[in-house]
Homo-oligomer: A and B are copies of this chain.
Amino acid sequence: MNIDFNKSNGLIPAIAQDAKTNKVLMLAYVNKEAFEYTIKTGKATYWSRSRNKLWCKGEESGNYQEIVDILTDCDNDTIIYKVNQKGLGAACHEGYESCFFKHLVNNKWEYNDEPKKFEPDQVYKK
């Protein structure tokens, strides 16, 4: 019963979910290397498709994700990282706790009411 990394050209979706609240924080992709690195380090690690490299979330920002549990689905081609979001408590580079900060209202995307945990301009100003 192993993860099926072959089905999707080596990459499968990984959902990061807050271990306490079950809030979905983000979705990114993992390959075998990222998955094994996550298990070894206890820190949620992905494969960056844009930078084409291993991406240990928070390695630069400090907003890393401590692994509490890892789940897989019936087809073994998607995983969930149950995590404690560390650092400033935000998974999203736009400063929100969750990347899913917009929802559909009358066929238009509107911002949820959640406050930002940080201002990107101040955190990423260098």
Closest to A92 in B: B74
Q: Does A70 sit at the interface, judged by CB under 8 A?
A: yes
Q: Which B residues touch A124, using CB under 8 A? A: none
Does A93 make an interface contact (CB < 8 A)? yes
Least Cβ distance of A107 to chain B in Å?
Answer: 7
When C-beta atoms are compared, the residue in chain B nearest to A95 turns out to be: B74
Indicate if the CB atoms of A27 and B39 lie closer than 8 Å. Answer: no
B24 touches A21 (CB 8 A): no
- Given A21-B22, A22-B21, A24-B15, residue A101 in contact with residue B80 (CB < 8 A): no
Please list the residues of chain A having a beta carbon within 8 angstroms of any beta carbon in chain B. Answer: 1, 13, 15, 17, 21-24, 26-27, 39, 69-76, 78, 80, 92-94, 96, 99-104, 107-109, 112
